[in-house]
Structure 1
Amino acid sequence: MNNTAVETPGLRIVADENIPALERFFGDLGTLRRCPGRTLSREQLSGADILLVRSVTEVNQSLLQGTPVRFVGSCTIGTDHLDIPWLERNGIHWSAAPGCNANAVVEYVFCALAALEVDWRGRSFGIVGCGNVGGLLQKRLHALGASCAVYDPWLPDNPDSAPLAQVLGRDIVCLHAPLVKGGRYPSLHMIGPEQLSHIRDGAVLISAGRGAVLDSRALLQRLKRKPCFRTVLDVWENEPEIDTELLQRVDLATPHIAGYSDDGKLAGTRQVREGLSALMDLALPPMAPETSGNSATIRIVPGNARSGEADLGAGQGGAMADLLLQMYDPRVDDRRLREAASDTEPMAQGFDRLRREYPKRLEFCHYTAPAEVLNEEELQQLAVLGLMCK
């Protein structure tokens, strides 16, 4: 749906067509026009007061110079696509949605391990970047009794802080750092050839933060060597023009959807509305809490893990892994991305299409499982992850 409009009086709003629940959260504020975020142009903003984007839109002087835009809201946790110094110098308010999809990304990590048939229990974790996502993962790991080490130069007092080389030497390494291109602690290509040498053979590397934190050419060269570690990539350098040779080498590949739960996307839209209300002093009426549209819990039982389109099996992770894969199976997204790469459609178009047409995905809290089929340890661990068993 491109360049369609909902007519109501008030503010003139231009928004990325892929932002969910726009009408619910912004339809009462003015004229709402949806546009493709990847190709958004200055001309489309010639009459706009408000710009709402996701991470695919670079918001800078080139886009906004000469437009009447007074507020930019990004319904995402990251802000590397916003030229914040330029916005602030020009008196343009901005807001983002930090933490809105952190829970979804943490759930992605555990489902990815289940898909790889990796039993995380008894393994050590390394977390690079301990903001909203990495911090929540750390909290869950503590609750699960798992060992973890953290590298985040912005948080030197973190109780699990360790040198980067030690963090990368853990059994399971999770990259959740934001993309920072300058300043005291830049993260662009922070994980390069030297850093990759610290990842042990047989380990698992999961990158679900920002693609350019990891040097993709260095990773490709490392993966060509045998033996090596297993790799899960959700974020890529140069999205949507991702490296298809690297795609062929990784164990699990998804199109930047780790945080694409319905719950997380709705939370992001709500947070930006709240930011608009506060920064523009609009005193907007409060909105009812967002829901996924599914108030009833979905009952699942071990032994039914399927892809939704093909039987992919439950792996060797036991009942716990089986239940995780029923709630979200990243192998489905992996298969779709590889099919897009082998199609006649250009890779960039296929990558964006998969994100645009992403099916509804509910977080663990919407599911329940029978307690009698699980042991006490599994019940406690699933409760930490958010699945209710009764």
Structure 2
Amino acid sequence: MLIVADENIPLLDAFFGDIGEIRRVSGRTMSAEDVREADVLLVRSVTRVNRTLLEGSRVRFVGTATIGTDHIDLGWLKENGIHFSAAPGCNANSVAEYVLSVLSLYAERCALGDWSRLSVGIVGVGNVGRELAEKLGRLGFSVKLCDPPRAEREPKAAGTFVDLNEALTCDVVSFHTPLTRDSAYPTYHIISERELAGLTAKQLVINAGRGEVIDGAALLKRLDQADAPLVALDVWEQEPQISPELVDRVWLATPHIGGYSLEGKVQGTEMIYRAMSRFMGLPTRKQAGQFLPEPALSKVSFTSAADEQAAIQIALRSCYDPRQDDARLRHAMRAPADERGAAFDRLRRDYPVRRECSSLKVQLKGTSKSLQDSFRAIGFKLKI
């Protein structure tokens, strides 16, 4: 059996090596010729899986090691009897931790002694938005949830959700929607000139969902106007050919790596391994945890003298500091215009190992219960 896979999916040999022959190819440039003899196709979000790619091939199973499916022609796969599986929620915690790290930087910029004074509007409350909301709620933040499809499906929870306009009044607005154009509630360019005009310099906008949710041209125009909001973008329109002008004007710019923790990546591989094994009637004996290496940093320690906010910032940024990715992306945008797309893809392909907070043991000596609860809410392992 031939398994054609995006070369950037981790642990391919560990999970699939004893099932069939693995052929690694570039996900961005994957062609019909690459997959013609394949029985199984494993991709990420950079590969369009549709009739053009698969017609005439032997592929009977497609797995994407991502939470999103807007790169997959689900209707065509179903019509042609090709089984499909995604990895919903695999990197939800990774993206939530990305947002927490951005929030810690923003609170520091605003000279807030207590970051939970910030109100946060979460637009899109699926796996990622729900994970983020739970962490923020446990940390004491005021959170407003906006998800019209869920509000419609869950009438008993009507009071749980607010409309977009109300979410946009929060100090921080974080986007975690899928990209939809033809649905009852399309998300394509839901943030454009009108919405951006209502935002102020006292607000932060974070997009770690889909780049096309925000109208990039309108955003670029707004950022050149007075009283513009701060913006942190991890996702962009027209990836990998993103706008260097927009990179230059946003406060924080990262190359679509919010979900790129090692734990999130490996969990995505495990999920499509399990789905493929079920489809083929094979036993599932492997789990992501058995392949995770020892983290480079395994323990930090705080005493009773530690300031709560400072301790949280130190621990969070020990695991992940977005400013490093920001610097790499800004440097990549200095390349000649015809090389920037490849430079963006290299940042993702060669992404350094990033571990989630659960990999770090936090030792607390004589600290307050409040600090202990905060560390638990974020997901750190505690030793008291």
Aligned partners of 2:7 and 2:287: how far apart in 1?
22
The one-letter code matched in structure 2 to 1:285 is T
The one-letter code matched in structure 2 to 1:334 is D
Does the residue aligned with 1:183 lie in a helix, a strand or coil?
coil
Aligned partners of 2:363 and 2:280: how far apart in 1?
49
Aligned partners of 2:149 and 2:83: how far apart in 1?
25
Contact kept? 1:171, 1:200, Cα under 8 Å = no
Residue 155 (structure 1) aligns with: 150
Contact kept? 2:274, 2:284, Cα under 8 Å = no
Q: Does residue 344 of structure 2 align to residue 351 of structure 1?
A: yes
The one-letter code matched in structure 2 to 1:319 is A
Residue 273 (structure 1) aligns with: 273
Residue 361 (structure 1) aligns with: 354
Which deviates further from its counterpart, 36-45 or 294-303? Answer: 294-303
Residue 284 (structure 1) aligns with: 283
Deviations 1:310-365 (A, max 9, x none): xxxxxx96222122111101100000000111134711011000000001011001
Q: Does residue 328 of structure 2 align to residue 336 of structure 1?
A: yes
Residue 61 (structure 2) aligns with: 71
1:137 Cα deviation after fit: 0.9
The one-letter code matched in structure 2 to 1:97 is A
1:36 Cα deviation after fit: 0.4
Residue 132 (structure 2) aligns with: 137
Which of 66, 73, 78 is the matching residue for 1:88? 78
Q: Does residue 116 of structure 2 align to residue 121 of structure 1?
A: yes
The one-letter code matched in structure 1 to 2:126 is G
Contact kept? 1:165, 1:198, Cα under 8 Å = no
TM-score, with structure 2 as normaliser = 0.91
1:90-239 superposed matches below 5 A = 90-116=80-106, 117=108, 119=112, 120-156=115-151, 157=154, 158=157, 159-239=159-239
1:223 Cα deviation after fit: 1.0
Which structure has the highest helix share of the two? 2
The one-letter code matched in structure 2 to 1:238 is Q
The one-letter code matched in structure 2 to 1:362 is R
1:147 Cα deviation after fit: 1.2
Aligned partners of 1:341 and 1:79: how far apart in 2?
28
Contact kept? 1:327, 1:363, Cα under 8 Å = yes
Aligned partners of 1:289 and 1:354: how far apart in 2?
24
Aligned partners of 1:317 and 1:115: how far apart in 2?
11
Contact kept? 1:169, 1:200, Cα under 8 Å = no
Runs of at least 4 residues off by over 6 Å: none
Contact kept? 1:191, 1:214, Cα under 8 Å = yes
Aligned partners of 1:275 and 1:102: how far apart in 2?
19
Residue 245 (structure 1) aligns with: 245
TM-score, with structure 1 as normaliser = 0.90
1:373 Cα deviation after fit: 7.5
Does the residue aligned with 1:82 lie in a helix, a strand or coil?
coil
1:169 Cα deviation after fit: 1.1
Does the residue aligned with 2:344 lie in a helix, a strand or coil?
helix
Contact kept? 1:292, 1:362, Cα under 8 Å = no
Change (3 A) 1:289 1:350: closer
Aligned partners of 2:150 and 2:287: how far apart in 1?
35
The one-letter code matched in structure 2 to 1:324 is L
Contact kept? 1:328, 1:361, Cα under 8 Å = yes
Aligned partners of 2:317 and 2:369: how far apart in 1?
20
Gaps of 5+ in 2: none
Gaps of 5+ in 1: 1-10, 304-315
Residue 256 (structure 2) aligns with: 256
Deviations 1:186-228 (A, max 9, x none): 1111111112233333111110011111111111111111222
Residue 8 (structure 1) aligns with: none
The one-letter code matched in structure 2 to 1:209 is G
Change (3 A) 1:374 1:353: farther
The one-letter code matched in structure 2 to 1:225 is Q
Q: Does residue 12 of structure 2 align to residue 22 of structure 1?
A: yes
Contact kept? 1:170, 1:199, Cα under 8 Å = no
Contact kept? 1:19, 1:265, Cα under 8 Å = yes
Q: Identity percentage over the alignment?
A: 44
